[in-house]
Structure 1
Amino acid sequence: MNIVLFGPPGAGKGTQAKELAKHYNIPHISTGDILRANVREGTKLGMKAKEYMDKGELVPDEVLIGIIRDRLQQPDCKNGYMLDGYPRTLPQAEALKEILEKIGKPLEVVLNIDVPDDELIDRLSGRRMCSCGESYHLIFNLPLKEGTCDSCGGKLYQRDDDKEEVVRQRLEVYAAKTKPLIDYYSDRGILVNIDGTGSVEDVFRQICDVLDPYRK
């Protein structure tokens, strides 16, 4: 099965991607991860990408799509793949479509984990961190003592990007960037919206109901 996975910050996309990759024995391909791997391994495309990254510039689409093309032709993609973090724009979606057709691995389904903004704000703005690495939540995972880490006794804090006004801005940016892609894949008849408001298990079951018919 050949999948693209969309989901706003806080929708649980990372958790679902990890479980789906294991369940269906397909690689979870994060564009950030494969970009860093190519740079680390010193591939030709990786070195080209590094030139831009070292200057603080965005890696051009033609370099990124080349890296993705090479990754999708690796042996572990024989049963399919799950792309995460790509495409982000309509030109990228068109470039991806051409590449996938050339290598005989066209997209079969695009999953969009949908959660109302108010719930996403509650999920993200309720998170509290400790410098020791432990994390808590004001609704889902309270510490035993308010404001204090159970593990080390340290003072809990809220990350700047978890503050409500920042979360709202992140969601607005995500919606603006993603809506054209949602419409693009909806028009092609391969978009499936997943209700992401339930438990992790409920959302996973919904996704499996959609993906099982595509199992190879």
Structure 2
Amino acid sequence: MKRTLIIGPPGSGKGTQAGRISERLGVVAISTGDIFRSNVKNETTLGVEAKKYMDAGDFVPDNVTNKMVRDRLSETDVEDGFLLDGYPRTTAQVDYLDQVLAENDEKLDVVLQLTADDEELISRLLGRATEAGRSDDNEAVIRHRLHLYHQQTEAVVAKYAERGILTQVDGIGNIDQVTHRVMEALKVPGATPTLQTVLEGPPGNSRAQL
């Protein structure tokens, strides 16, 4: 069983790449956004609690998010592996995820970080906002989102880099180009839906360092 995490800033195409990676590797993609929506839709106890924060525009507290992720990782479709998207976002969540996985003698195998220059991302996101007619998604809002991303994830990325399981991939380019880089970084041969070679990682000292 293999377990992967994808991290990337707003506008990096992380969601699109997560879907492609999941399909190529033959593992289920787990997005915290999807978990939230599912719990809210099904009016679970955690969903009702999370909705209070979401309706107020606040972050869902760690204790609620952690419980949702724990419940999701207990389902049978993750037995052959999973791709986490959007969690963990903080070092406290990293520690919690470690505990959940350790209960089944498991741990994350690969952490894939999509990287991109902030100014490139701002230009990309402003273009998307214009196309979608979203006047509220202005440069100040986008810069704030990027600031939060860096603030939240730098410590998370550093923690996984120390473990030697972090691989960084340039997220700038068209979708197919980025997908190709990702698959090369994960050592996925052709379209084989398996994680068999992921743990090998890049040869020598090619594994990314901060």
TM-score (norm 1): 0.77
**SS of match in other structure, 2:186:** helix
Residue 192 of structure 1 corresponds to 167
Structure 1 CA distance for aligned equivalents of residues 143 and 60 of structure 2: 27
Q: Deviations over 1:104-143 (max 9, x none)?
A: 331111111001112111211122556xxxx5xxxxxxxx
Alignment gaps of 5+ in structure 1: 136-156
Residue 211 of structure 1 corresponds to 186
**SS of match in other structure, 1:159:** coil
Identity, % of aligned positions: 42
Residue 79 of structure 1 corresponds to 80
Structure 1 CA distance for aligned equivalents of residues 164 and 85 of structure 2: 19
Deviation, structure 1 residue 166: 2.6
Structure 2 CA distance for aligned equivalents of residues 34 and 210 of structure 1: 28
Is 1:201 matched with 2:202? no
Quick one: structure 1 residues 172 and 45, their matched pair in 2 at CA, closer, same or farther if it must change by over 3 Å? closer
Taking the TM superposition and a 5 Å limit, the aligned residue runs for 1:44-193 are 44-50=45-51, 58-129=59-130, 135=132, 157-161=133-137, 163-193=138-168
Deviation, structure 1 residue 100: 1.0
| Stretches of 4+ aligned residues off by more than 6 angstroms | none
Quick one: structure 1 residues 52 and 25, their matched pair in 2 at CA, closer, same or farther if it must change by over 3 Å? same
Relative contact order (alpha carbons < 8 A, sep ≥ 6): 1 or 2 greater?
Answer: 2
Deviation, structure 1 residue 31: 1.0
Structure 2 CA distance for aligned equivalents of residues 183 and 97 of structure 1: 15
Deviation, structure 1 residue 56: 6.5
**SS of match in other structure, 2:84:** strand
Deviation, structure 1 residue 87: 0.9
Query: Size of the alignment, in residue pairs?
Result: 190
Structure 2 CA distance for aligned equivalents of residues 99 and 63 of structure 1: 15
Alignment gaps of 5+ in structure 2: 189-193, 197-210
| Maintained 8 Å contact 2:110/2:166 | yes
| Maintained 8 Å contact 2:53/2:59 | yes
Structure 2 CA distance for aligned equivalents of residues 173 and 57 of structure 1: 13
